[in-house]
Structure 1
Amino acid sequence: MIEDSKLFQKVVEIINGEFPENDTEIARETVAEDVIGWDSMAHVSLIAMIEEAFSVRFIGAEIVTFDNVGGLFDILKEKISRK
């Protein structure tokens, strides 16, 4: 299983790739409003990129509970651990 720090770094790389104009450092506490270009449409695209990168699927109820990057990461980590 991939270590948490490497998994989080991969998530950060995907976020940075999706929002190249952003200059905010991505941390667990980062919320969409902190990131330039992260709106509802971009959120859908970002989730799809993360699903593809890690071969997981999020359900709608999970997606709306992502309060911040840490929340997204925690659910992703849980899904990966069940694989």
Structure 2
Amino acid sequence: MKPIHIITLIAFITSLGSIICGLILDVEYAKKLVGFGVLGLFLIVFPLFSYYRWKDKDVKDYMITKENLDKMRENQKQNKI
């Protein structure tokens, strides 16, 4: 496994563990545990996961341009025949 994948997995497990501990344990800082877990998911895990999944992709392949529309129309015509 790649290092960024391992870091993302560890951050996910830590955030999820923090949320679960905050919900299960009856301590005075339980709400802070849940909050830090959610914060970790949205500020650390999601950006790392997005970077890992999109780093080798070309954004132009996912944009609607005239060329891509023409390709989609050609594919539809070929599939109907």
TM beyond 0.5: no
TM-score by length of 2: 0.28
TM-score by length of 1: 0.28
Greater per-residue helix proportion: 2
Larger Rg: 2
Which structure exhibits the higher relative contact order, with contacts defined as CA atoms closer than 8 Å and separated by 6 or more residues?
1
